Amino acid sequence: MANPHLSDTYPAAGACSKLSEGSRSWATFIGFLTTLTLFVAVSVVPDPRPLSAPDWAVQAIQSLFGLSESLSRVVSTIVLRSMMFGLFGVLLSMLFMRFPLRWAGPSVLLLSPLFAVGSQWINHGYFPAPVQWQLSIASATFGAFVGLALRGSMLCIVGLVVFVAAVLAWGLSTGISNDLDSAARATGLHLLESMDDIPSGDEGFIACMQTAFAFAEDNSHGTDPIFPNQAAILALGVILGEEKIAEVARRTIDLSHVTEFNAIRGRTTLRGRHDLSRHFSVCAALIVLTDETRTMNVAIGKELKDSLAGGSGFSFVDMLANRAGMRFALEATKNADSARRIQSFLTGAPVVSDVMPDYEGLPEGIYRDDFERDFGGLGGDRTRSINQDIERRLSTLPIHRSQTAR
């Protein structure tokens, strides 16, 4: 006797054949494992690009549609992020494949956005900004509809999941080459060997930069100077900034050196502050691993997190150090001439005012409600005015002011 609910439970998927009972069991099992894996990955893997896209995707959009660089970046960002969150809907539809559509549909449509937003919340440490949770909810819901429409075919669903996962793995990778990893480790070890000669305070920060870039200069005679500069920046990012930079680069570090890292961080400052040294170094390293837009998004996300209850508040002083690190790394890796100029500059007699401007007058300790009310949020007129002031201060730095060494 025919099952009257068969079409409701397992609708056909066009030319794709219906699933057998065994296939549905496998789909449920695979759906559980892959959903759990995606949730854990989005929740805990360091994400240096919460609202941006890799350069290859931007260039592809520009080539295909003739859009501007900024608009192409927005489009590619939305596409890649939507694909990632849409996977939650597709995978959850596999998980609920054994259930009738009348039960599976509402469950998948409810859980997909919750998984997408929840994973972001865990990863960032704060509830996502409106544009983030709106995009994740819309994408996860669309993915849920796609998964439910294809749930009659294991082949269609698995093919879709593999395709999207492959694109995301390609587009969101931040790994570095083995050669760059080896060079950064060599630079870091050289810096640690010189630790006893590094003074305290701002002089210590400059000494670390000089040591790393002198090593870079020694290793760039007759070769491209950009590569050793990248290695120096990554080494400084891990040692002076944060060892999790290695995780972003998809590499491991020798944990036995963490005590030495903390010792150097504890006695080096930038403009008299330990935190500014770390902001500068981390953002410089992220430039090597990603690009300027994505690094800026990470920096802003950190300040937005700090603006929540229990944080230290949004700080334009921190943003000044972030931007100083970004612009330094961009200058040090822009081209061969610029890379050599930075090497020459830092192996001379630099002082802290050469690489980091005075932060006097920049507000900090601003909590979310005050930031929205008094500054207009990220897009407010007062915020834009302060950001313009930051860029003016950076433009006056000796390290950026001339294309020739001092």
DSSP string, 26-95: HHHHHHHHHHHHHHHHHHHS--S-TT---HHHHHHHHHHH---HHHHHHHHHHHHHHHHHHHHHHHHHHH
Top mean pLDDT of 119-133, 305-319, 361-375 is at: 361-375
Q: How many CB atoms lie within 10 A of CB 334?
A: 14
Q: What does the longest C-alpha to C-alpha distance in the chain come to?
A: 90
Of all residues in the chain, the percent with pLDDT exceeding 70 is 79
As a whole number of angstroms, the distance between CA 190 and CA 187 comes to 5
What's at 401, amino acid-wise? Answer: R
Highest mean pLDDT: which range of 73-87, 252-266, 318-332: 318-332
pLDDT of residue 219: 86
**pLDDT recorded at residue 75:** 78
Name which residue leads in pLDDT, 223 or 344. Answer: 344
Query: Cα(262)–Cα(243) distance, rounded to whole angstroms?
Result: 10
Highest average pLDDT, of 51-65, 99-113, 275-289, comes from 275-289
Task: Tell me the three state secondary structure of residue 383.
Answer: helix
Beta carbons within 8 Å of 330's beta carbon, 6+ residues apart: 287, 292
pLDDT tens digits for 134-188? 888 999 999 899 888 877 666 666 666 676 666 555 555 555 677 888 899 999 9
Mean pLDDT, residues 325-335: 93
Q: Which residue has the higher pLDDT, 379 or 319?
A: 319
Give the torsion sign (CA, 216, 217, 222, 224). positive
Backbone angles phi, psi at 308, to 5 degrees: -80, 165
Is the pLDDT at 201 greater than 90? The verdict is yes
pLDDT at 78: 77
Comparing C-alpha atoms, which of 125, 159, 207 is closest to residue 30?
Answer: 159
Work out the average pLDDT over 66-91.
78
Q: What is the pLDDT of residue 38?
A: 80
Lowest mean pLDDT among 20-34, 116-130, 328-342, 372-386: 20-34
Least confident of 18-27, 155-164, 294-303: 18-27
Residue 295 to residue 287: CA distance in whole angstroms: 6
Q: What is the pLDDT of residues 336-371, one digit of tens each?
A: 899 999 999 998 889 999 999 999 999 999 998 999
Q: Exposed, middle or buried: residue 369 (CB in 10 Å: 0-12, 13-18, 19+)?
A: exposed
> pLDDT value at position 94?
79
Q: Cβ–Cβ contacts within 10 Å for residue 15, how many?
A: 7
Q: Cα separation of 364 and 322, whole Å?
A: 14
> Which residues contact residue 331 at a Cβ distance below 8 angstroms, ignoring those fewer than 6 apart?
338, 341, 342, 399, 400
pLDDT at 153 (0 to 100)? 65
Number of H helices, E strands in the chain: 20, 0
Residue 11 pLDDT > 50, yes or no?
A: no
Choice between 18 and 196, residue whose per-residue pLDDT is larger:
196
Q: What is the pLDDT of residue 21?
A: 58
Instruction: Please provide the average confidence, as pLDDT, over all residues in the chain.
Output: 81
pLDDT of residue 226 exceeding 70 = yes
pLDDT of 16 higher than 60: no
* pLDDT score of 279 more than 90: yes
What is the secondary structure of 163-200 as a DSSP string? HHHHHHHHHS-----HHHHHHHHHHHHHHHHTGGG--S
pLDDT of residue 10: 40
The Cβ-side half-sphere exposure at 35, using a 13 Å CA radius, reads: 26
| Token pair 């700090």: residue | 306
**How much of the chain is in helix, strand and coil states, percent to nearest 5?**
70, 0, 25
pLDDT for 45 equals 61
